[in-house]
A and B are shown apart, each in its own frame.
Chain A
Amino acid sequence: MTEVRLDGATVTVPTDNSPGHRTRTILGPVDLVLTQPRVTVIGANGSGKSTLLRLLNGLVTPTAGTVTVDGLDTVRHGARVRRRVAFAFTDPISQLVMPTGREDVELSLRRLHRSRSERRTAAEQVLDRFGLAHLADQSVYDLSGGERQLMALAVVLATEPGLLVLDEPTTLLDRRNTIRLRALLDTLPQSVVVATHDLDLALAADRSLVVDAGRVVFDGDPATAVQHYMALADAP
């Protein structure tokens, strides 16, 4: 299992562009060691969940403290971290950057397989594994929301990373596709960290974090985490 370690990780942003500008802390400091296969992150909109997730593959770098993945610092070894940590966004259409799923999977595999024929064979295997071979040559615009989300996962998992990070993957899905996605996540060999408002998904984890106002305010078993989150959400 992949080990993610956050030591005093803090993210601040400037509040204006003037010289000697003031800053606002949007996350942290956070101290965590994540080793469990399934971790969920829950919290209100704007609480800092997405920023916490983006720290894990170096999309956001800490302004103080450190984040390491299997001992690799996300600032100094960003490229190597991103090979280990795949990231799936809420809206798969921004994730799918090629006209068709097959072409997108092949794009993921370009640096692993220089030969075109090897790349095609590898892409075929990935699409078969995810049950998406019949959709491989359709325009990404013609796929349903659920199909797009599965295709986006196939695309980022094609390189077989050790950790998959998902930012609210079920937000745009109906119930049937949410159940399909949840079933797929259950079968993945990768460690998974997922931010979600889907409390059923949150409850299915090994560990849950509750984030509020840029702080991890609860870290523990999912059932207690959900209660904690609901108490926060219901508070006046």
Chain B
Amino acid sequence: MNEPWWIDLIKAVILINLLLGMFAYMTWVERKLLGRMQLRYGPNRAGPFGLLQPIADLVKLIRKESFYPATAVDFLYITAPIVSTFTALLAFAVIPWGEGWHIAGYDISGEIADVPISLILIFALGALGVYGFIVGGWASDSKYALLGSMRTCAQLVSYEVALALSVLGVVLMAGSLSLTQIIDEQQHTIWYVIPQFVGFVVFLAAGTAETNRPPFDLPEADTELVAGYHTEYSGMRFGLFSMAEYVNMIVLSSLCVTLFLGGWLGPWPPLGPLWFLLKVLILIGFFIWLRATLPRLRYDQLMAFGWKVLLPVATLNALVTAALVVAFS
């Protein structure tokens, strides 16, 4: 492999900008789609079809006075959104989005870092990202923010277990924790969504809860909690939290595509990134559709669903997969 470090650097810079651009336009797509699903127009004032709306929002957030409670703990209050955004963006580094190319004597791989434990790394980064939410809520010194962060914490910890167990079937079938190898295996056999359909459904449900998306958006249930852990945040600090949430959603969709839907596989491999993007966009559209369709769960329903439905189903799926893998190998 002839791939000097500066190629990785260029890839990282391009990818981070793509992710942030995608985040900005995801808010537009979401508002537009939600509007259409609810027989409204959605944003349509800034530019044609409201296309400049994300940019207007960004300018507004940056120019806003950064206002915070006098009793907030300064250092932690400022660090919390940075931690969340950083871990969310970093997780994308190990997700493969292409087959790799050979240009002018240089090899360009289809991911920034190919580590043998990339799947665990993504989960570890997700576990660290939770701290941004809980520390931010605590450091705000506000009862709504604290309650919101407590809920976030309880929900994320509960659903992380089901999420991790739901991918165990894929790991068992591929025999690897490396995302590139999991895609290789799918290229030679079959997309894992077919043999691992149960795991796929559990992953989608737990993933929706992991990213605080409706109908699992209890951490920011505005009727009870004002806005949850980011109640006391304004300006670009709020923007960072929002960015972390949307980037998490992109990362989770990408992980789902990688594990279950064949990643960048599709007709004519050099177009890999395009297939990858298409699949991710379909999944994101699905998440938005869910938001427009389902009402928010009650808190006890959420916990009961996580521990009494998703977790046993995911465990059973892993056990059955393990037995079958041993039987047929």
The answer to whether A and B assemble together is no
